[in-house]
Structure 1
């Protein structure tokens, strides 16, 4: 196959992304104000709670089977490698550029997490439908591509809210804790007058009488009663400690975000696809509840254009954003568009050589493409949540997504040539 055909097949999906992104940016202008701040917030909630779960759940339920899931075990490991390698390279950039400490979580998150869901859902189906596609039959390519994209999105969401979320939380809490510690330390100091009042108001009892057996017996009875009460206290304290530990774990690791609607939809999609009884009920032309799966697929189709419009609208903030170190922007771009794709070629080729990855060109292409995607959009949600690096995130997103048109076209062409 000619390189020109591969280039055209790779450029068409990227061009679609650019057109939708430009439309979103246009709709967010102050003169138009269709996708203003309030509209984006409401639209984001609809995507997060409705469109994305419908897309992930319906894609997995419709296309995944018990036989096929065993062959996809390397994808979660591959995505984890992108996160670990990306954050390690980001740490090197932070050390060399001497970036402000409050931006460490943002930079590490942008280097670690790629846009594993939405970009794959746009690129893979579009490539399958192109005439110059190296992946064979368009319908079979589309079905398998939707499975790989849905699985990638679900796994990426789990890693995003367990790995990147805690990185951003730790560095934002470290920078904000110094002032809070000073305030709390002054509040916790009790005045001397209060302590003397507490001492004076405390109960005072006489010492044990030495004479009188009845008094001693009464006291022994009280002593036994006190002992029986205090013996239960460790059990109560143990239960309270376990409860506090669980609450701390749930708060720190944000289990509510970890089990996001897309993750829950992925679990349901796996169950429907793998369990034959559920599959017969919901999937297929003769399934009695096929209208449920059809409605979910219809809702899921709205996810990709909506998210792309929101990304374009958010890029407008980057044009108005504050200044950020140029070296940080260059560092993120070099890691995401040069270092990670090159390392990804070696990792995936090594996995193929040792037999960890099946000989499916489309599957190998998706694994390679996971190393070459722009930063994840959900990092912006985390910066807003912790009030750390919001405007800087918009600037980084502006430059990375502006250069993604060239980078994705090049790497998509190269990866298709590599696996064909």
Structure 2
């Protein structure tokens, strides 16, 4: 009965996501045409520049303090491990499947970057409210859970836009350079004098890294949220019922509330593309599903057990649950935004998202139930 209750508790948050996703798919149908492609792109722009930064900034400002940052130091490391392990597994998948050059960055990104923010912000509060949750009082669970989910969202956004963005960008550029037209273009490097070579290499390296993307709106929102939360003087001005500038925080919080439903609706609309197909190799889709729902969760169990053994993390069941669940999330939906920016693999990305999110409804529920049982035994 305990395992059945855990399974039911884990399934409720996933069902909520599926219901909103289904609504987005319905609104995007041609006969309905409320959430058409152009509408989704415009809505995605608003989410990217307004809703997501507001969501990240307000949640971090409210829940993250200097003391909590000290306690949660392992979470950024854990997320980095998910990116590293996912990238290695993605590289192996590329060697086996031999996809076209313009899809290699997409495959690496889907294997490396999970939906570390939006899903957790839905899953954690829902789990805390459910009966049979092993995480204690619902209000305490919600407060700490939002802190963990907000930090996960912020760190995930930084890694996504500083790593996956550039991987997809470089991959799309290489595919263009490999085309016959690009091979016929004269190379400007032959015109560069020897003394200028080192300077040219530095410029080209900076262009490849595209450091400006590190300060994408979501990253900027995270920096602002950290600053407000960690510095007591600023926190007292903006956070709390008696704060003089609380209206700024309240307004930003109101904007951030629109991020999750808007993004989930966009997910549903974008998944319709996947139903039409794109000619992508089935082995690639299957490989990504195995990476995200089999190999990464198993790796996560080993990592967290090792961290517990060596005292790197405190034995808070909810904290351990969040660390584990970060290994079994579907690919980040912002990868679709990135492919749209560069026009490389948009249709293929839709197919990958469709099938990974379909399987996530089962995988995420099963792993969540197992992780609840697992962390209850560790404390």
Q: Does 1:349 align with 2:309?
A: no
CA contact (8 A) 2:304 2:323 kept: yes
CA contact (8 A) 1:54 1:296 kept: yes
Unmatched tracts of structure 2, length 5 or more: none
Of structures 1 and 2, the larger Rg is shown by 1
Aligned-partner Cα distance in 2 for 1:373–1:96: 23
Q: Tell me the secondary structure at the aligned position of residue 297 of structure 2.
A: helix
Deviation at 1:336, TM superposition (A): 0.4
Question: Kindly tell me: are residues 104 and 287 of structure 1, through their superposed partners in 2, closer, same or farther at Cα, counting changes over 3 Å?
Answer: same
Which stretch has the larger CA shift, 256-265 or 69-78?
256-265
Aligned-partner Cα distance in 1 for 2:232–2:187: 63
Aligned-partner Cα distance in 2 for 1:265–1:250: 24
Partner in structure 2 of residue 109 of structure 1: 109
Deviation at 1:263, TM superposition (A): 1.2
Q: Does 1:289 align with 2:269?
A: no
Partner in structure 2 of residue 185 of structure 1: 186
Which stretch has the larger CA shift, 91-100 or 352-361?
91-100
**Residue deviations 1:62-104 (CA, integer Å, cap 9, x gap):** 1111111111111111111111111111111222223333321
CA contact (8 A) 1:283 1:290 kept: yes
Residue-pair matches, total:
373
Alignment of 1:332-371 (within 5 A): 332-371=288-327
CA contact (8 A) 1:157 1:258 kept: no
Partner in structure 1 of residue 36 of structure 2: 36
Aligned-partner Cα distance in 1 for 2:93–2:68: 40
Q: Tell me the secondary structure at the aligned position of residue 186 of structure 2.
A: helix
CA contact (8 A) 1:27 1:35 kept: yes
Which stretch has the larger CA shift, 397-406 or 143-152?
143-152
Partner in structure 2 of residue 207 of structure 1: none
1:278 to 209, 234, 237: 234
Deviation at 1:182, TM superposition (A): 2.7
Q: TM-score, normalised by structure 2?
A: 0.93
Partner in structure 1 of residue 129 of structure 2: 129
Question: Kindly tell me: are residues 106 and 287 of structure 1, through their superposed partners in 2, closer, same or farther at Cα, counting changes over 3 Å?
Answer: same
Deviation at 1:169, TM superposition (A): 2.3
Q: Does 1:378 align with 2:334?
A: yes
Aligned-partner Cα distance in 2 for 1:246–1:373: 37
Aligned-partner Cα distance in 2 for 1:186–1:264: 37
Unmatched tracts of structure 1, length 5 or more: 191-236
Q: Tell me the secondary structure at the aligned position of residue 58 of structure 1.
A: helix
Partner in structure 2 of residue 96 of structure 1: 96
Deviation at 1:245, TM superposition (A): 6.8
Aligned-partner Cα distance in 2 for 1:268–1:188: 41
CA contact (8 A) 1:383 1:390 kept: yes
Q: TM-score, normalised by structure 1?
A: 0.84
Aligned-partner Cα distance in 2 for 1:22–1:83: 29
Partner in structure 2 of residue 198 of structure 1: none
Which stretch has the larger CA shift, 1-10 or 178-187?
178-187
Which stretch has the larger CA shift, 308-317 or 62-71?
62-71
CA contact (8 A) 1:161 1:254 kept: no
Which stretch has the larger CA shift, 389-398 or 100-109?
100-109
Deviation at 1:187, TM superposition (A): 10
Q: CA RMSD for the aligned pairs?
A: 2.3
Which stretch has the larger CA shift, 114-123 or 266-275?
266-275
Deviation at 1:384, TM superposition (A): 2.2
CA contact (8 A) 1:24 1:310 kept: yes
Which stretch has the larger CA shift, 8-17 or 177-186?
177-186
1:263 to 213, 219, 223: 219
**Residue deviations 1:243-302 (CA, integer Å, cap 9, x gap):** x77764553223332111121111111111111111111111111111211112122111
Aligned-partner Cα distance in 2 for 1:189–1:342: 50
